[in-house]
Chain A
Amino acid sequence: MGQLELRFDKRNLGSDLKLGVVARVRQIKNAEGKFPLEPQEREVVIPAGTSATRTVDDLPPGTYRIEARLPSGQVLRETRKVADEQSVGVVFDAGHSPHEWLSFQRLAGNVPSQAQYEEWVNKIAEQINEFAKAKADAAKPIQIDPATIRGWARFLHGTHVTIQPVLKSISDLLNKAKELSGAVLTTSGAEGENKQVDVPPVAAPDAPVVAKPAEFELLEADPAHASSLWDAVVSMPAWMAWRQNTQPDATLAAQRMDDRQLTLWRIDQNDRGRRVVAPSGKPVPLRSIAVMQRGDGVDVIPLPVPWPLTTAMPPAAIEILREAGTSESGRTTLTVRDEFVGSMIMYLSTGRMADAAAVLAEANHDRLIEELISEKGDNPFAACAAYYVGFPTLPAGETPPRWINWLENLMDLFEWLPDGAVIRAAYLLKTAKVPADLDASLAAFKTAYRRGMPFYTAGLQHLLNGLYTFSATDAEAKAMHEKVAAVACRVNPDRAFTQITIAPAK
């Protein structure tokens, strides 16, 4: 038997991501060079970083195709021959990040490599040529030189087009091209390339209502009044009124980096021990909220902090990537640099649930999840992610893993965490055997609502559907559903974490 040593090469991550990228190992030939009758097929998770490797052992001699599937959907393929008693190394490389500080975002699939950009823009240039040729009055095709292509790359990113979503139509692009003809490229929110600035929380407690929101703020909310956020995020006037009565979050600090098209906010958790006393008498953490300007509106993101809860473990770095400065277009993405569940969340964020489940399975195999979410309750946010990925991806008929039982305690142990109550409620609704299970489910959904907005989009989805399910028979559930529905239409469903866009008042 032979073995493969797999690694995903990614520099500047800080430390290696132990569970980084999902890879599929498929045997395509046996030792005789024929397609095997019973080909080996394994799914593993390989580390991302500079040194750690994942060993895939007990492989019969033969030829193997190894596919690494990145959270962005990009697939990298390598083929290797493996002989008896032989160890063969495979290193995947997805290309350089545009900047060192975007290394993690490149891995998450939120930004393309510079090479991808330029290749893509070249294709667009070809399209423009085709278009020009097709026009009867086009005397000659449009010529675009490489320097201009690099400019286009910056321009396209600045108008919220990334390598993945691409254009709605060639006409959109051509219209933009006409507008740009002979013009100087403009950018928004830029202060020069690769600027790095430390930014303190900028909210002032007695600030008057201002016409324009700040570019970036970190605010704190009293968990006892977290449900007031349901009303606050449905309009700009409501938001600005709520915002006026809130405080900057002093437990967090943000570092701003930008390259004119992309702005990265790296949020450090400087004080994870701060607590307030809940009505139950228990100490609970404050809710932290990141707010970013989007045109004349804002994006609001409840931050999953403290991550982890215990100060005995190092804090996870939280990153928020904003495209296109403070303009109305462009995506906002929150990522968490957690060495165990970070990549699971990346896959969750791009809708690749099967791959997210592969990361979870590996973590479960290594008993990492059990360590993280056991009765010690060190990391309830990781526990919630595990549930959101794990439960819908359990193969039918399979016995639920042991950690499912611990997840049910999330509601009781963390009375400030809406997702814990949502998970309990959704689990009961899905598996109800007697009417009492339904009663408990409804009660848990209502508890979740009162705790405020779930941190995960999946939690908001469960809450929306759960309250609707009971709304025909329960007036309070109906009223709660209407409030949640008013928020859900402002939420980006393609993000792992809840992110609300409040449009400007018209």
Chain B
Amino acid sequence: MPDPFADDKALVHFVDLAERAGTHVIVVGIGHYDHLPGGGGTPTQHHLNLKQLTSPPISARKVASWFIESFDCPEKPLGSVSLVLSEPAPATFNNSKTGASFTVPTGTTAEVKSALAAWVGRAEARAESRIILYFSGHGLASGMDNLYLLRDYGRDPQDPLSGALNYQRFVAGLATRKPSHQFMLFDACRSADPIAALNTTGGQGIFFADPAGRLGIGLPMQQCPVFSTELDRQAFGRADEASLCARAFIRAMSGACSKRVGNAWYITTDHLVDVLTDFQNRELAQANAPMQQAADANRFARIPLRKLPGVPTIPVFVRLADKTAAPNVLIRAVRANVPRLISDPKSAGWQAQDIWETALEIGEYSFEAAPLQGGAAIVKSDTVMPSFLEVEL
């Protein structure tokens, strides 16, 4: 078998699935833009007041690492993860599972095109394959059209959008390819811009739309693109941190978006938009930010994104009514007499937090805040179930 890493510079994780259908993931984080102010390249006059971003590469690393470390699916196991990172200097990525280190593509149009082609190429081994795309970077919108800007946006002064991905053409082309389950998450602004309205056919479609591409495949195409924010709205992320959407997506995939189908648990697209919205807005509210970020989808397919090997774990957020008591209480969750530690001020490196986040299996728990010096504990019982639970003690 030829070395899969030799032909695809974006590939950072590969599992030989032999004849099995699997899950193939590509993660693209475009933070550095050569031709926007501060990018170091010839500045484009069509900068649209867009700035350099720090969050997308961080988000992309986090999402890619989560898939490599935590994505287990007995039905369609992880087949590959590829990564494109636009940072000021060529980026390296360490695969924590294999220990291998990679210098990944920098996010130019040619590099993204090549990485996307290799990603779909791997998945085309089986029509039952599931493909997952996560994109983070600048986005523009006009009606049904979206444009996602790549590293070299603005390089060609005659056609600055040659450095952008045309969403409509991209999804239409991808829909004619073999993998039958296609999920995409676009974590980018959808700010209305006249440049998008005037250039509906601008940007790269990446995939040639071949009507005959799926002839003979018995499975219907199920394609589900999701946006991190609504039309005419911005997507948020703190500088030098993963975006709200990236964090929400990881929580959703970890268990928050689980649904029981028969005797098994699945992560599905069913309520993904609501779950992403809940987590994004929860973080904004926690930061006292006066804005909201609702995820959105204007086309849909019911796709299982992951079959869980067991019972899901659900995010649980615990806080104290009296924040100042944190250094003096032990916080834990108890189920069937088995305690799960949430906060122990005596542990090494302990730091007070406004909210402790943990993940617990579905079921009923007794949450306790017990004074270290003895005395009556504050106890509350509650049931952990999707998509998350908030407990105040």
Contact = CB atoms under 8 A, between A and B. Distances in A.
Given A393-B300, A434-B215, 6 more contacts: A352-B274, A432-B215, A438-B211, A465-B172, A490-B142, A493-B298
B385 interface: yes
B209 A469 contact: yes
A493 B143 contact: yes
B145 A353 contact: no
Given A468-B209, A469-B211, A168 B298 contact: no
Interface stretch (B2-10, B230-238, B367-375): B230-238
Contact of A430 (B142, B201, B221): B221
B143 A165 contact: no
Interface residues of B, number: 60
Closest 3 CB pairs of A and B: A353-B300, A354-B270, A493-B298
A489 B364 contact: no
Interface stretch (B45-53, B248-256, B289-297): B289-297
15 contacts: A28-B385, A65-B383, A169-B291, A351-B273, A354-B269, A357-B302, A429-B211, A461-B298, A465-B168, A465-B171, A465-B172, A468-B168, A472-B209, A488-B143, A491-B144
A392 interface: yes
Contacts of A240: none
Contacts of B208: 472
Contact of A438 (B212, B218, B231, B294): B212
Interface in B186-222: 196-197, 200-201, 208-212, 214-216, 218-222
B97 interface: no
Contacts of A460: 144
Contacts of A465: 168, 171-172, 175
B271 interface: yes
Interface string B268-308: 01110110010000000000111110101111111110000
Interface of A: 26, 28-29, 34-35, 41, 65, 69, 73, 123-124, 127, 130, 164-170, 173, 351-354, 357, 391-396, 429-435, 437-438, 441-442, 457-458, 460-461, 464-465, 468-473, 482, 485-486, 488-494
A438 B215 contact: yes
Contacts of B271: 354
B211 A442 contact: yes
B184 to A, nearest CB: 14
Contact of A353 (B169, B210, B289, B297): B297
B200 A489 contact: yes
Contact of A488 (B168, B180, B269): B168
A504 to B, nearest CB: 13
B61 to A, nearest CB: 27
Nearest to B285: A123
Contacts of A127: 288, 290
A392 B363 contact: no
Contacts of B297: 351, 353
Interface string B351-379: 00000000000111000000000000000
A396 B181 contact: yes
Contacts of B346: none
A130 B362 CA distance: 38
Nearest to B216: A433
B380 interface: no
B176 interface: yes
B266 to A, nearest CB: 10
Contact of A458 (B277, B299, B304): B299
A173 B289 CA distance: 12
B340 interface: no
Given A392-B302, A394-B302, A468-B169, A485 B212 contact: no
A286 B218 CA distance: 40
A130 B290 CA distance: 11
Interface string B128-169: 000000000000001111000000000000000000000011
Nearest to B190: A493
B292 A351 contact: no
A396 B270 CA distance: 13
B300 A396 contact: no
A168 B364 contact: no
B323 interface: no
A486 B200 contact: yes
A431 B215 CA distance: 8
A487 B320 CA distance: 53
Contact of B142 (A123, A351, A489): A489
Residue of A124, A127, A429, A489 contacting most chain B CB atoms (<10 Å): A489
B292 A165 contact: yes
Given A465-B168, A489-B200, A494 B298 contact: yes
B62 to A, nearest CB: 25
A432 B214 contact: yes
A431 B220 CA distance: 6
B252 to A, nearest CB: 14
A170 to B, nearest CB: 4
Contacts of A35: 362-364, 383
A165 B190 CA distance: 13
A461 B296 contact: no
B339 to A, nearest CB: 17
A426 B201 CA distance: 22
A491 B143 contact: yes
A493 B385 contact: no
Nearest to A501: B143
Interface string B234-247: 10000000000000
A41 B270 CA distance: 15
A494 B214 CA distance: 29
Contacts of B218: 433
A488 B201 CA distance: 11
B302 to A, nearest CB: 5
Contacts of A490: 142-143, 197
A485 B294 contact: no
Given A35-B383, A489-B144, A464 B168 contact: yes
B126 interface: no
A473 B270 contact: no
Contacts of A435: 212, 215
A375 B99 CA distance: 63
B82 to A, nearest CB: 25
A233 to B, nearest CB: 11
A471 B169 CA distance: 11
